Chain A
Amino acid sequence: MSPAELLVVDDLSVTYALPRGRQLIAVANVSFTVHKGETLGLVGESGCGKSTISRAIMQLPPPTGGAVVFEGRNLAHLDTAALRRARTRLHMIFQDPISSLNPHRKVRDIVAEPLAIAGMGDAEDRKRRVRAALENVGLDPDQVMDRRPHEFSGGQCQRIAIARALVTEPQLVICDEPVSALDVSVRAQILNFLEDMKAHYHLTLLFISHDLAVVKNISDRVAVMYLGRLCELAPSARLYEAPLHPYTAALMAAIPVMDPDRCRSPSHLLAGELPSPMNPPSGCRFRTRCPRATPHCAAHEPEWRETEAGHFVACHFPLVAPQGATISPARQP
């Protein structure tokens, strides 16, 4: 493992046990690396397993298969104390800013909690760190410390959650849909702000979202997921210029754009519903909705392969980019 590889997710699988002995394979054989200082975006529709991956990385609960290697150590092999220490360097921000904060506690205690759990610093030192973290997220410590979450807007709660994630000065922050519950104007504030925090704290981010435009804006590289598996991973600009996986192209075509003259032909629409993860299609999981599917796709699962430096795809018939693209992103007229 090179020093640039801060987090390595290797062949990760997560299976949930359901009533009556049934099993749900929420994440299957997912591998990716997060390099120090980068933002890796992870996109996909709801239920595809994004949150399951982020929880598995945090070991909440640990994955049922594969390894999570953070700063060179397999997190599954750490004892409780070592894991607790690792968690001060690896933090998570959740989607719902309001319900992810304990409603009964004051902001000062919410933000200080990671320090308390990790046993970092004495009372004075903690207080100083909490104030600094709140100031850094643009909140006035004197005004907010003694208030409770319900007294704040969604955007402010997300800032508090970010202050809490940053108070131990972690290396890696996993942001699980951090702006999905926010309005466009507040969303832009928080996205800019995450970029500032990243520079200020020299952070590495794993940024999860179902919104491709948001992910493109913040990420250096982007991974696309469908029904528990990775479809494609590429540098952000490259992925949007020349998607190889039909699902990536379809996701892009479905994004509403602010152009009343854009032709809206139903041929861009991806047909069908997401299949149930309880009973995923054989072969390629996307084949039931894929315009390029052939019988081969039903019989064989496509391999994860690198088609050019840093561009990975799992598809038997990737789109030939850019000229012959059958499903080109809809932005082109």
Chain B
Amino acid sequence: MMDAGLPLLEVTDLATHFHTQRGLLRAVDGVSFSVRRGQTLGIVGESGSGKSALARTIIRILSKRHTTTTGRITFEGRDLLTVSEPDMRDIRGRDIAMVFQDPTSSLNPVKQVGVQIEEVLARHLGLRGRAAQTRAIELLTSVGMPLPQERLHQYPHQLSGGMRQRVAIAIALACEPKLLIADEPTTALDVTIQAQILDLLHRRQKAHHMAMILISHDLGVVAGYTDTVAVMYAGQIVEQASTRSLFRNCRMPYTAALMRSAPNLSDPPHTRLRAITGRPPDMVLPPPGCRFEPRCDDATDICRNRRPALSASDADGTHRYACWHPVASPGASA
């Protein structure tokens, strides 16, 4: 690859604050990470932790009037927060595409599937007529759509949820974007369809050396389909690592608690779950120290008063966590 050394996307100290009636809501609050070509970054976190706000900030689809965004989003050397709106429109859909949780919200209900795909091909690639139609069929075939030719003339409501998501993915992949942001792409789907869609995204990503940000609240999904993972809590990244290191060697009590709280298929029935007490903080008035402190079993005074910074857990600094009293690392060498 040309610039294999440089990340494709680099997000630095990004903050997105919504202006609400109750005050500033810190949906994203000082987030930094990078994604390389051909790599998948997983972002996990509970509902309201800021995952979608982060994704929407990157592709700049939040209303300017009600949000303040600070920090830097460097994509191929340009800061997406400062490029002009027309330039951003070209980047969106062509270089960076997004798939949403609810495909009905991204598809136009009154336009045929074929028309919607061909519009994207015309806008970004100048493909029209026969060529566009042929390409649309290819795209639908590549996302595993049954009877692709017939789908061109169908409307979204005539398709199942899984098929709608396939159309949304076909549109997202139409211009072979360099980065795909998939925000809970399978949360609304059944497990057997979820497995098909995740497998499809994974294969397309490998085939095109595309970078992907896969957002999910399901640690199982993230474990199976990502290279690196960032765990979000209350607008901040609290741990980030290679996927293997995170699952083998997690250091932040919240990550550990999240992993323990899900029911495990290998446990016998009626095994008591290790729930996390309470719920995430109000992001208008987050706790001053560690944001997990009110729910953390290991919290002490310092946690209440001072926010822990992300610090390295291993020698090369790829595994980082924000915690004053990290969980003991079984393979501690650093």
Contact = CB atoms under 8 A, between A and B. Distances in A.
Interface of A: 45-46, 153-155, 183-189, 191-192, 195, 210-214, 216-220, 236-237, 240, 250-262, 264, 266, 268-274, 289, 329, 331
B122 interface: no
Nearest to B194: A254
B259 interface: yes
B150 to A, nearest CB: 14
Contacts of A187: 261
Given A185-B46, A189-B275, A255 B269 contact: no
A272 to B, nearest CB: 7
Residue among B146, B194, B269 facing the most chain A CB atoms (10 A cut-off): B269
Contacts of A213: 262-265
Contacts of A189: 275-277
Contacts of B248: 260
B126 interface: no
B220 A256 contact: yes
B273 interface: yes
A258 B162 CA distance: 23
A240 to B, nearest CB: 6
B218 interface: yes
A185 B190 contact: no
A109 B224 CA distance: 46
17 contacts: A45-B193, A184-B218, A188-B261, A189-B275, A213-B264, A217-B267, A217-B270, A218-B270, A220-B269, A253-B195, A254-B191, A254-B194, A256-B224, A257-B223, A259-B223, A259-B247, A329-B265
A261 B269 CA distance: 25
A254 B258 contact: no
Given A45-B191, A186-B279, A258 B273 contact: no
Contacts of B192: 45, 250-251, 254, 269-270, 289
B330 to A, nearest CB: 16
B247 A191 contact: no
User: Lowest 9 CB-CB distances: which A-B pairs, in order?
Assistant: A256-B220, A188-B275, A45-B190, A188-B273, A185-B276, A217-B263, A188-B261, A254-B195, A254-B191
A189 B257 CA distance: 12
A214 B267 CA distance: 11
Contacts of A184: 46, 217-219, 258, 261-262
Contact of A258 (B47, B223, B269, B275): B223
A188 B263 CA distance: 8
Given A237-B269, A252-B265, A260 B220 contact: no
Given A217-B263, A273-B160, A260 B247 contact: yes
Interface residues of B, number: 49
Contact of B265 (A195, A255, A273): A255
Interface in B213-262: 217-221, 223-225, 243-244, 247-248, 257-259, 261-262
A331 B266 contact: yes
Given A183-B217, A192-B272, A213-B264, A260 B193 contact: no
Residue among A184, A212, A261, A268 facing the most chain B CB atoms (10 A cut-off): A184
B215 to A, nearest CB: 14
Interface of B: 46-47, 146, 160-163, 190-196, 198-199, 217-221, 223-225, 243-244, 247-248, 257-259, 261-277, 279
B243 A217 contact: no
Nearest to B259: A258
Given A186-B279, A218-B269, A269 B196 contact: yes
Nearest to B186: A256
A214 B270 CA distance: 10
Given A213-B264, A251-B192, 18 more contacts: A184-B262, A191-B275, A192-B272, A217-B267, A217-B270, A250-B192, A251-B191, A254-B194, A255-B220, A256-B194, A256-B195, A256-B218, A256-B220, A256-B221, A256-B224, A260-B243, A261-B244, A274-B190
A215 B275 CA distance: 16
A195 to B, nearest CB: 7
A188 B262 contact: yes
Nearest to A250: B192
A258 B146 contact: no
Given A46-B190, A188-B275, A260-B247, A273 B146 contact: yes
A262 B220 CA distance: 11
Residue among B261, B263, B264 facing the most chain A CB atoms (10 A cut-off): B263
B21 to A, nearest CB: 14
Contacts of A240: 265
Residue among B225, B261, B277 facing the most chain A CB atoms (10 A cut-off): B261
A283 B264 CA distance: 35
Contact of B272 (A195, A266, A268): A195
A216 B146 contact: no
A232 to B, nearest CB: 16
Contact of A236 (B161, B193, B269): B269
A322 to B, nearest CB: 15
Contact of A217 (B191, B221, B271): B271
Contacts of A331: 265-266
Nearest to B146: A273
Nearest to A48: B190
Residue among B47, B191, B257, B265 facing the most chain A CB atoms (10 A cut-off): B191
A258 B247 contact: yes
Nearest to A236: B269
Nearest to B264: A213
Nearest to A191: B273
B197 to A, nearest CB: 10
